[in-house]
Each structure stands twice: as structure tokens, then as C-alpha cells.
Amino acid sequence: MHTTAITLIELGAVLLCLGALGRLAARFGLSPIPLYLVGGLFFGQGGFLALEGLERFSEVASEIGVVLLLLMLGLEYSAKELVTGMRQSWMAGVLDIVLNAVPGAAVALLLGWGPVGALVMAGVTYISSSGIAAKVISDLGRLGNRETPTVLAILVFEDLAMAIYLPVLTAVLAGLSFAGGLQAVGISLVVVTLVLVVALRWGNVVSAIVDSKDREVFLLTLIGAALLVAGLASTLQVSAAVGAFLLGIAISGATAENASRVLEPLRDLFAAIFFVVFGLNTDPASIPPVLGWAVVLALVTAATKIATGWWAAARQGIKPRGRARAGAALVARGEFSIVIAGLAVASGAVVPEIAALATTYVLIMAILGPILARIAEPVMDLLMRRPRAGGTVRGVDTRAGG
């Protein structure tokens, strides 16, 4: 059979399966990301059915998926919101880095994966899933809650931290010298600063250049600009993902809202392909040896994320129920963790087991996060109703001899 025909058949079958998996996830109120990863494991190397015809299409499609994911994330924030978020949440952001990056780095070192592996796993366990967090907050009707701005501020800080982390990671994975690494970081900081300045002062100009009343022209201009900026950023060793994120920040107002609306279906399509491709490149047989470590990391970093959100919310004078909701909303890991692991594995500079550990870890956390977000409030209510020594429960004296 002709190669193109095989590619079309396999692609059609995969997309149909993704549609079914997405419907299944929606029925249980879960993120579809874990199921997409499982689908990739099923069809990939070492899976039940190997797909050979998707290689040409999937590589480029998955890169576009990353670009669109980060572009959409950038569209959610204005430069002013980012600066304000940094001022309000920098202490919680620093605590977040310490509590959640260290466990991943420690496990990588214990497994003998070296400093590069430690840097990769630190990023995987540090970054929360903005997409899952936003969806959970919206689905549970918590957009107007007092703790929600605190959660969003921490997510913004994490996204800005990624704007520095990804260029550093890219430089390290490329095997650049210390001087080359410093140069990459310097370029990254300059680019980020310039984009923020442009977005703050001339964001309306950038938006006007991209905007168009014609839906087709608007879509072509937007995607073209995103891919061009991502490619140029990659050339400057700043990471294509960060380039797309910064473009999203520079687009503001009604243009950003229209862009989000137009891009959402494409984002979902290519992002799904990205997660499947990551699963395709992970051998299921490599998961059992790292399953124990993935569970340990999941338990530890779920607790540390809850601690981060609890502390940040407490600083804003929020009561215990709100603190628990804030912490639980941050637990899920997803798209960014897979992007980091994907960059590392594609470079060939780390052991393949990192892909297996990252996949298993994200599978657990993407399921655990929404569940914890749903039960955080009932659990806190239960704990707060527990009888205390010398106290009362529903008017009944619980003191000894009372």
C-alpha cells in the first residue's frame, strides 16, 4: 500500500481513538491528557500495535502542538498581569521552586542520571499544569473565590520561571560550554525583558498588526506569526515554546480574546497529537522499573504543592478551607512536564528512562490533581468538625467526665 495512504489510515484511526478517549475523560470529569498518553503507549514502540506511517507527520505536528499550547497560555495573561503577579507572588514562587523542584532532582541523582537528568526532572516535578488547574477551577465554580487570584499568581510565576528555565535546559541539553550557557541565559533574559517592555508600551500595536476582521486572514496571520517567532527563538537558543509564550503575552485586549477563541480547536487537536507522540516514543516495558519512584514523587510533590498553596493563601488572610482549595488546585502536572521531558529525550543527552518516569508521573498527577481539588473542601470540613479535647461537637460536651 502507498505510504501516504498508510499515513492517512493510521492518522484517522488515531484521531478517532483520541475522540473516544476525550469523551471518556469528560464523562468522569478528568483531564484527557493521561488517556492520550496511554493511547500513545498502546500504539507506540513496545505497545500492542506499532504505527509506522505516522513518523513524518507526527514530528512536525507535535512541535506545532507545543507552540500552540504555549501561545494560548501566553494569551491568557497581559504583561501588566504578569508584572503584578510577580510582585505579589514572588515569595510563594520561590517556595514553590524549592519544595517542588528538589524532589525531582533528588530522585534523578539517586537513580544515577547525573546533573542533566536532575535538571530535567526538577522541571518535570516543579511546574503545575495551568490548563488542568484552570479547567478544574472553572468546572467547580471557583473563579470568584478569594483563593483563586493567589493560585493564578503562582501559575504566572511558574510560567515566567519556565521562560528562564527552558533556555537554560536547551543550552545544557545541547552540550554548550559554561560560557555558551551563560550566553543563552543572557539572550533569554534580554528577549523576555524586551517582549515585556513592548507588550506594556506597545501591546496595542502588536495586537493591531495581528488582528483582522476576516477570520481566515486572522487565523493565518496568528499561526504564521507564532511559528515564525517560535522558529526565530529556537535559532537564538531561547526555545520555541518560550517564543510562542512571549508572543501570546504581547497580544492583548479583544485581539487576545478572539485569538483564544479561534485557536482553541487547533490547539486541542495538535496538543492531543503531541501527547500521543510522546506516548508513542515511550516503551511501556520501561514503566514498571520506575513505577515505584513515580508513586513516591507523586505523593511527595502532591503534598509540597498543597503546602505551597496553603502558605500563599494564608499570607492573604484566607481561611483554612480556601487554603486547602488553593493547594489542591496546584497539584496536577501535565503539558509543561511532558514538554520538558520531550525536549530532553529528543536531544539524546539523557537516559531514555526519563521519558518513562515523566509519563508515569504525569499520568498519576493529572488524575490525582482534579480528584484532590474536588475533595479538598469536604475533607477540610470533616477535619474541622472533629472533636477536640475540652471542646464541643454540635453542642455536646466532649471534655473528660462531661
Determine what percent of the chain is predicted with pLDDT higher than 90. Answer: 21
Alpha-carbon distance of 274 to 279, in angstroms, equals 9
Q: How many CB atoms lie within 10 A of CB 37?
A: 25
Q: According to the per-residue pLDDT averaged within each range, which of 63-77, 300-314, 338-352 is highest?
A: 300-314
Alpha-carbon distance of 15 to 108, in angstroms, equals 34
Q: What is the mean pLDDT of residues 163-185?
A: 73
Third-level CATH fold of 3-383:
Na+/H+ antiporter like fold (1.20.1530)
Q: What is the mean pLDDT of residues 359-367?
A: 88
Task: Give pLDDT, residue 81.
Answer: 66
Task: Kindly report which listed range (32-41, 113-122, 363-372) carries the lowest average pLDDT score.
Answer: 32-41
Task: Kindly report which listed range (43-47, 252-256, 344-348) carries the lowest average pLDDT score.
Answer: 43-47
For the chain, domain boundaries = 3-383
Task: Give pLDDT, residue 107.
Answer: 96
- Beta bridge mates, 396: 393
Give the SS3 label for residue 352: coil
What are the cell numbers at 298? 507523586
Task: Give pLDDT, residue 387.
Answer: 53
| DSSP state, residue 343 | H
Alpha-carbon distance of 98 to 274, in angstroms, equals 29
Q: What is the CA radius of gyration of the chain?
A: 22
Asked whether the beta carbons of 175 and 349 are under 8 A apart, the reply is yes
Q: What is the pLDDT of residues 115-159, one digit of tens each?
A: 999 999 999 999 998 777 877 787 778 877 888 888 878 887 887
Determine what percent of the chain is predicted with pLDDT higher than 70. Answer: 84
Task: Kindly report which listed range (43-57, 120-134, 165-179) carries the lowest average pLDDT score.
Answer: 43-57
Is the pLDDT at 235 greater than 50? The verdict is: yes
Task: Kindly report which listed range (193-202, 227-236, 288-297, 327-336) carries the lowest average pLDDT score.
Answer: 193-202
